[in-house]
Amino acid sequence: MAGRDTTTDMGIGVTLAFGALAVIGALVMVFGAPAKTAGAGFAAAMIFAALAIVAVQVYDPAPNE
């Protein structure tokens, strides 16, 4: 009896969500006048970009063996 293989596109959605947050952080960095605001935007952009990469790796389906 063959097992059912289910796949999901959750990785794409999570990656796009974190990517959008990274873009927002980058915009805050560019248009943030005070240095603290620009620094917070840079930090947010880097964190959310890293989380987007992690989401791709976590939700990537295992190779068939």
Residue 17, pLDDT above cutoff 70: yes
User: How confident is the model at residue 46, as a pLDDT?
Assistant: 97
22-60, pLDDT tens digit by residue?
Answer: 999 999 999 988 999 999 999 999 999 999 999 988 887
User: How confident is the model at residue 32, as a pLDDT?
Assistant: 83
Helix (H), strand (E) counts: the chain = 2, 0
User: How confident is the model at residue 11, as a pLDDT?
Assistant: 82
User: How confident is the model at residue 33, as a pLDDT?
Assistant: 81
Task: Return d(Cα 42, Cα 50) in angstroms, integer.
Answer: 12
